Every structure is written in structure tokens, then in C-alpha cells.
Amino acid sequence: MERREFVITSVLGAAGLAAGRTTSALRLDFETRKILIAGGGFGTAFIRYLAELTGKPRPTLCYLPTASADGPAGIITWFRNCASLNVEPSVQESFIASTRQTRSWEEVFLSVDGIVCSGGNTLNQQAIWKAQGIDHVLRLAWDRGIVLGGASAGSLCWFEEGTTDSRPKELTTVQGLGFIKGSHSPHYDAEPGRRLLYQKLIGSGVMKPGYACDNDAGIYFEDNSVKRVVATRAGAKVYHVSVAGGQVVERVIEPELIS
């Protein structure tokens, strides 16, 4: 794998970052940074592909269902989707108590090969991650080559911004972690208003250009470069939406089918 060097100035975790404390700089070698997203539907085929991206014969994959409020239905589906794969699946809840959560976020997320985030409410997900310091640990995981992924809120979270149904009454915008530069719209073909709003926001300059994904279609990024566009359903597509000559331009990117 390609390796690069970065300098970090804190190894104290979320508490140290919140307090503004640092240690002497440490130099670490970081792996190629990888993220696999889907517009909706991160089922067995996407999990299989994410597992392959780890380069491990039997990777450890952690499911992070913060956006779905650690809902049991999503957790059961996760284990069902992993059942036919040569992976070691686990779940890390965010609604925890110190009496039963005996490992730190760093110990959990930096010890696995891949992290898949659930769909759900992106706004609440981001607020909880920031309050818990999970956002900083996910950044460390990304820098260390741990493969990140997810669909819906689990795809939107990695971008700078995007469209969300996380608030009452109407689709609005939300800020993400910013690992991937630009914007994102999931469910591009499945939810009324997504396409129109996304194009309007980008066309007016309110939102940065970016990528939209139909349900069952997705993108594999290395750093901020698109390396592969995939889908698990014929007809599902990926789009790059930008502005040229004062007009919104929607460029279709045809995906490869995976299973």
C-alpha cells in the first residue's frame, strides 16, 4: 500500500483535545485513506467489497449505528448481512454507560479493519459524535487506513456538507466531518425533492459541488479521489453535480455492477 507521513500533536484522545492539551509531536506512517459510500442500501454486496478493501483475509468490521439511535432492527440486519461473509462483525453503540463500556473509543475503533456507519438522522449523529469525541477518533481511523463506509447518513457524514431529512417538515442542509471535500446527496432517485434541492443549492452557490448517489449505487474514494463507482442494482447511478457557465451540470457516472 501507498504510505505517507503525517505529524500529530495530540495522543490524549477526546478529553485531551477538548482541554486543548498536547504532547510532543509524534511522527506516524499512515496508510492510504479509504471510504466506500452508497446512496442507500449498504447490504451484503457493499460489505463484501468493503471487506476486500481492507486487504485482510478475515477482516474485523464494526457497525456504528449512532444515526439510528442504536436501533436493534439495524443491528440485527447488520449481522444478517455479514453472515455469509468471511468477516468478524461487531457493533459499537453510542448510547452507552461507563459501567458497561469498558474500552475507550480509540481502543474500539482503532483496533478494527473497517467501520460501517448506519443510516438515520445525520444531524443527531454528528452532534453525538462531537460530544463524545468519536469524530476525532474516526479521523485517526481514516488516516491509519481503516476502511470507512456506509449509506444515507452513513455516506453523508464523511463529506463537508449535504442534504438531509434530519429536521422537521422539509429537506435541509447538514455539515459532516469533511473527510471528503465537497457535498453529497444520498437517495437521489428514491426521495422526492432530493434532486431538485441539491441542484438548487449548488446552482445558487449555497452548497459546494459534489456527488449524488441513487439507492444501491456508490463510490469508493481513496483520499479525495474517486477510484471506482459501483452499484448492486441495474439502473442505479452516480452523478457529479457542479456549475458551468452559470448553469447546473449533472454528469452521470455509470457504475460497475457488484454482487
Catalytic residues: 152, 187
How are strands ordered across the β-sheet holding 210-213?
172-175, 159-164, 180-185, 210-213, 238-244, 247-253
Pairing assessment for the beta strands 26-31 and 60-64 based on DSSP bridges = unpaired
The amino acid occupying position 106 is E
Q: Do the beta carbons of residue 163 and residue 201 sit within 8 Å?
A: yes
- Dig out the grid coordinates for 149 from the structure: 463506509
Closest CA to 33 of 179, 175, 135, 154: 179
d(CA 242, CA 203): 7
